[in-house]
Amino acid sequence: MPLHSSSILNFKPAISNAMRKKFVTGLWIIFFLLMFDFSINFMFPYPSDPLATSPGQLNTYFEYGRSIEGKLSRMVGSTDELSSPIAIAGWLDPELWKKLNIPVSRTSDKDLLIAIYGMSFSNQVGTAMEEMDSRLMIRAIAGPAAPPNYSFAAYNLDRGKHQADIVILGLLASSVKGLRTLNGMTWQFEGPAPYTYPRYFLEDGKLKAISPNVMSLAQLRAALQNKQQWNAFVNQLKEHDQFFNGFIFQKKWLDNSVIIRLIRRALAQRYQLTLTNQIHSTTGFNAESEIPVLRAIVNEFGATAKADGKMPIVLILNDRGYEDHLFQALKPTLENASIPYVSTHNIVPANDLSNFIGDGHFTPKANKLIAQEVLKLLNEHFNRVN
């Protein structure tokens, strides 16, 4: 039935009133979101001082979603002394290693010097070994949650700079995904570590490396202050770092919004989980993903260490959620190349949560059990008596 003109006139105000109510409601929603954003920033500010400690749980929670560049600007001070500890940690810089006074040769009261390349997990095993055997000295070089390419690059860079009898390559199962990266930032969004390292790939069956444009904290600081240098570094990450994501990495004015930070954190978690699932699943590592490169790394590590007259040991650290998957991926390579190894899966199983503390590291007891197996291996090789 056609509408009379009077009906149409009466209908228009009804539409107008409905739209007006929605518009007003929308304005109120925007107002309350802005107030929420402002209030959270005001009540839970994150300290701008890189050396500030204990900012508080809520302050930290609302900071997690800041862009990587935004976090970097807060970590890196005008000097090393004014930079946060995480900004300083892990750089593949022999000059930095000298400043750390890590031993180059053993003293007369020691019978073995062991060089360990890895992360905090491998460092803790090394510390446990020293505590259990006073005749040992440990030369430990590590980066936060460092992936295998970091461990291998550190080992290569350190060759000829020490007199260690044994070299240990620490491989952490959860960090294997870092083989796809050039730095400790892109794949560790919530707690990025700025240190860099090469990305390895295979060409005609041989290991090749892509070296990062930034190789030290001093170079990073200089790049952050030089737009051209920084853009070159970011472009390199875009091309060669598979965990790079512009929205997650690059700093925008929206970093100031709590809501955007919460959204970015959620998107980053989903994005990084998707990439991780391409490399590892509940059944094991994808044999066609990074494992061929890792096997080549292990092979070259063993061959070069033996050529240098040193005992190589591959230390496989199986953390929570990874069962014995890394061991299974590397077992044929280790056995075919006769490379001594210790894998934690049958010492402190990854599916037994009592072997771990809250932050994911092994318990002191677990570290001692792992250290005991490494000591057994080297004692047999050197005919040492406990």
Q: Which residues pair with 208 in a beta bridge?
A: 201
> What is the reported pLDDT for 254?
80
Per-residue pLDDT tens digits for 66-78: 899 999 988 999 9
Q: Which residues pair with 284 in a beta bridge?
A: 281
| Pair type for strands 280-281 and 206-210 | unpaired
* Spatial contact of 62 and 190, defined as CB atoms under 8 Å apart: no
* Spatial contact of 295 and 333, defined as CB atoms under 8 Å apart: yes
Per-residue pLDDT tens digits for 208-245: 999 999 999 999 999 999 999 999 999 999 999 999 99
User: Would you place residue 1 in the very low, low, confident or very high pLDDT band (cuts 50, 70, 90)?
Assistant: very low
Q: Which two tokens stand for residue 355?
A: 């072997």
User: Would you place residue 260 in the very low, low, confident or very high pLDDT band (cuts 50, 70, 90)?
Assistant: confident
- CB within 8 A of 219, min separation 6: which ones? none
Exposure string for 112-149, b = 16+ CB within 10 A, e = fewer: bbbbbbbbbbbbbbbbbbbeebeebbbbbbbbbbbbbb
What is the average pLDDT score of the chain?
89
Higher-confidence residue: 338 or 10? 338
Of 30-39, 207-216, 314-323, the one with minimum mean pLDDT is: 30-39
Q: How far is CA 120 from the centre of its chain?
A: 11
Percent of the chain with pLDDT over 70: 86
Q: Which two tokens stand for residue 227?
A: 């737009």
- pLDDT of 341 > 60? The answer is yes
Per-residue pLDDT tens digits for 39-58: 666 666 666 666 666 677 77
Of 19-28, 108-117, 191-200, the one with minimum mean pLDDT is: 19-28
Higher-confidence residue: 136 or 205? 136
> What is the reported pLDDT for 15?
58
